A and B are shown apart, each in its own frame.
Chain A
Amino acid sequence: MTRITILGAGVMGLAIASELAARGLSPRIIDPAGPPGPHGCSWWAGGMLAPWCEEESAEPTVVRLGSDAANWWESMGAHVHHGGTLVLALSRDHAELDRFARLTREHRGLDGDAIAGLEPELQGRFRRGLFFETESHLDPRQALTAMADGLAAQGIGIETGGTPSGLTIDARGLAARDALPDLRGVRGEMLAVRCPEVRLTRTIRLLHPRIPLYVVPRGDGIYMLGATMLESGAKTRVTARAAIEMLSSAYALHPAFAEAEILELGADARPAFPDNLPRLRRRGDTLFANGLYRHGYLLAPAVARMAADHVLTGQIPEIMDEHHP
């Protein structure tokens, strides 16, 4: 049996481990920080499985690779919420909504009543919106834990030390910059708030020329608000500016957010290549899987499948830009 060691227990490493395990392999996983937690950027993600919305700024590849993500996640024990995505803009920003509609597909326009039909809490607040009915979201922490538990049940634990043996799959995210010089960090900041007064059931994106916001319901009145996009690898804490801007956007979405209890402020840096698309790279006995950018949960399944295909069949996947076995 092929001996495989995966470096990194973030969304990329665990997704590859889960995919390999599903195909009958038993990889080792090494991460000095241990099981998934606040040390990894996938801990702070929104968890949106929204390929169609992402097309506004992402390459068509992202849509194609992301289209089956929800099924994969369900097969790995993640709870996927199939409520669709509601995209809104305040009346003075309707031009943003028109632009978004032009650049994306698989949506339909909604008027105020239809918006209230989906989210009664927004009654009378928005006159126009777009509904991406087939999109979904998950809770990243539940998904990571489900993968780690599933692997543990198959006897695959997360080691915090040791020497890699056999084929090494490097899924260390931004930490792999030491080997991948074209990898850069794109900083993101998020908040988690508890606001039981607001009862939203699906992911909402509020467009704005400068401060776009998404709100992902986590259940029990908890919402994740995100996320900034800064060309920076800094993992320092959330800035006041980011918090002010995201909170004021949330307030514009619904004034009751003013009374929300702030549970968390999180910041980290997403690993990205210059075209913001993921890559597999094979150098000798090391396979690098990296560059998920802001599409960690959307693209990890497809990248994991391609990595597993490569490991098992030697196939060269479309996102492999270096192949020197």
Chain B
Amino acid sequence: MPVFYGHQIDSALMLGTAQYPSPAVLAQAFRQSGAGIATVSLRREGGEGQAFHALIRDLGVAVLPNTAGCHSVREAVTTAQMAREFFDTPWIKLEVIGDHDTLQPDVVGLIEAARILTDDGFQVFPYCTEDLSVCARLLDAGCRVLMPWGAPIGSGRGLNNPYGLRSLRAHFPDVALVVDAGIGLPSHAAAAMEMGYDAVLLNTAVAKAGDPVAMARAMALAIQAGQLARSADPIEARDMAAPSTPLFGKAVLE
């Protein structure tokens, strides 16, 4: 199970709290998913979302506030500070958005904001790309968790660059890695876990499914399957067919 900044979490699924049909459905989805961490946005609701934030606290899972919707270092840092005060946690999922349309992370701003926040005592979960040098810089800045995207936020496209994600895993075997964003199907989540990722963070795939509660359960099962597969040492793919039943001694049909 994943360990983030010294805290072991009982589930490799991290679930976002936006866009559900209702808080009641959100709570049921959380129960079915067994998710260990809830991400929550502070920015749009401001300080007046107490009722909703109380519902999130009642889920009984660790809360990871995020800086969703921030487009500059300053905005992100200010939002992180508000979130720390509001949720009483040093954890922050750091998002600095570079492009309004693709919601692609601004990696330059991200590194800068990560450094400022780490120096200020935060434990930063940066939403980043799978670029090796960007990730190395984020580690230099003090991050102990990296959260590369699978695909753009909300796109449901899965793992756009499996090679890059695999290579990141191989380069940083001891860093907690989370695939964040882009997951649309349980198979995408399973694939991330099979690659050896520590956890998967998703939101839209569950919240906007026709039946969010059923999809939450499906994601939980897929993540378990992927984790189990990883620990079971899967075989390598190969070009040569390898029959699992011996041919020798079979009846000749011609």
A residues adjacent to B (C-beta < 8 A): 57-59, 99, 102-103, 183-185, 187, 209-210, 230-234, 236, 272, 274-277
**Considering only CB atoms, which chain A residue lies closest to B52 in the complex?**
A231
Whether B25 contacts A275 by the Cβ 8 Å rule is yes
Q: Is B51 an interface residue (CB 8 A)?
A: yes
Whether B210 contacts A274 by the Cβ 8 Å rule is no
CA distance A277 to B21 in the complex (A): 11
Whether B24 contacts A276 by the Cβ 8 Å rule is yes
Whether B154 contacts A184 by the Cβ 8 Å rule is no
CA distance A209 to B47 in the complex (A): 25
Whether B27 contacts A274 by the Cβ 8 Å rule is yes
Contacts of A102 in B (CB 8 A): 210
Q: Which of B27, B44, B210 has the most CB of A within 10 A?
A: B44
Q: Is B22 an interface residue (CB 8 A)?
A: yes
Whether B49 contacts A274 by the Cβ 8 Å rule is no
**Considering only CB atoms, which chain A residue lies closest to B100 in the complex?**
A210
Chain A proximity of B15: nearest CB distance (Å):
16
CA distance A57 to B209 in the complex (A): 10
Contact-residue bracket for chain B = 10 to 19
Whether A99 contacts B208 by the Cβ 8 Å rule is yes
Known: A57-B21, A274-B24. A232 touches B210 (CB 8 A): no
Interface residues of B in 180-237 (CB under 8 A from A): 208, 210
Contact pattern, B 37-76, Cβ under 8 Å of A = 1, otherwise 0: 0000000111111111001000000000000000000000
CA distance A236 to B50 in the complex (A): 15
Whether B52 contacts A232 by the Cβ 8 Å rule is yes
B residues adjacent to A (C-beta < 8 A): 21-25, 27, 44-52, 55, 154, 208, 210
Known: A99-B208, A210-B154, A274-B27. A232 touches B21 (CB 8 A): no
Contacts of B47 in A (CB 8 A): 234
Pick the 10 closest A-B CB pairs, nearest first.
A184-B51, A234-B48, A231-B52, A275-B24, A276-B22, A232-B48, A232-B45, A274-B23, A274-B24, A57-B21
Contact residue among A59, A209, A236, A274 (Cβ-Cβ distance under 8 Å from B55)? A274
Q: Which of A58, A102, A185 has the most CB of B within 10 A?
A: A185
Chain A proximity of B152: nearest CB distance (Å):
10
Whether A233 contacts B210 by the Cβ 8 Å rule is no
CA distance A99 to B205 in the complex (A): 12
Contact residue among B22, B44, B46 (Cβ-Cβ distance under 8 Å from A274)? B22
